Chains A and B, each alone.
Chain A
Amino acid sequence: DVKVTQSSRYLVKRTGEKVFLECVQDMDHENMFWYRQDPGLGLRLIYFSYDVKMKEKGDIPEGYSVSREKKERFSLILESASTNQTSMYLCASTSAGGVRYGYTFGSGTRLTVV
C-alpha cells in the first residue's frame, strides 16, 4: 500500500523553538508539497519541490524553510516557531506530470505552538 508518512501526528512546541516536520513517501514521486490547513482558509501552499535539492516558494513561505536531500524525504522547518504557526500541516506527493492523477497526502501533523 503506497503511502506518505508524516513523522508526528501531534506536536506541542514552545515559541522560539526550531521545529522539524518530516515527510517520507515510498512511491518514487518527484514532486512533494507542504501545506497548512486552517479553518476558513483552506489549504495554503507553503513550499514545494520538483526534484532532489530543488525547492520553490508557495503562497505563504514566510517563517518556513524546507530541505530535500533525498527523493523520498521532504522536511519542513520552522526556524523560530510562533503561535500563529499553530495549524494542521499536510505533506503531499505526486509523480512528475501526474498532477492529473491527484496527490497522495499524509495523515497530517497537528502542531500547537505555546
Chain B
Amino acid sequence: TQLLEQSPQFLSIQEGENLTVYCNSSSVFSSLQWYRQEPGEGPVLLVTVVTGGEVKKLKRLTFQFGDARKDSSLHITAAQPGDTGLYLCAGALETGANSKLTFGKGITLSVRP
C-alpha cells in the first residue's frame, strides 16, 4: 500500500490552462514537500509546507497543506510548456535527526504549446 497517493497519474493540458493535482494519505505528516523532476535529471525541491492549512506560492504555483496535515494540493495557473515534468510529493512522518522522506509515485504533467 502506497503511503502517499498522488492523482491524477498523468495529465496533458494546453498552454494557458489551470490545473490542480493532489497528494493524499491517511497518515499525518510533520512536513510535506513537492519536487519537480525533468527527464534525465534528479528531482528539485519546489516547496516545503509544515503547518496545517498553510498556503505557499511560487510564481504561478500554489501549494496547500491540508488542515489535518494528511494531504496537499498543487495548483498551477496558466500552465506553460516549461511546467512539463514529473511532480513528486514527499512527506516526513517524524522530525528527528534520522527521519526520512516517503515519496509518492508522482504526477506526469505535459503542457502542450
Contact = CB atoms under 8 A, between A and B. Distances in A.
A100 B100 contact: no
Given A42-B105, A100-B92, A90 B100 contact: no
A110 B92 CA distance: 27
A50 B105 contact: no
Interface in A87-102: 90, 92, 96-97, 99-102
A100 to B, nearest CB: 4
B99 interface: yes
Nearest to B103: A43
Interface stretch (B19-27, B36-44, B59-67, B76-84): B36-44
Contact of A102 (B41, B42, B48): B48
A48 B48 contact: no
A31 to B, nearest CB: 7
B30 A100 contact: yes
A90 B103 contact: no
Interface in A33-77: 33, 40-43, 45, 48, 50
B92 to A, nearest CB: 5
Given A42-B105, A99-B99, A105 B42 contact: yes
Interface of B: 2, 30-31, 33, 35, 40-45, 48, 50, 88, 90, 92, 95-101, 103-106
Interface of A: 4, 9, 30-31, 33, 40-43, 45, 48, 50, 90, 92, 96-97, 99-108, 110
7 contacts: A33-B100, A42-B104, A99-B31, A99-B100, A105-B43, A107-B40, A108-B41
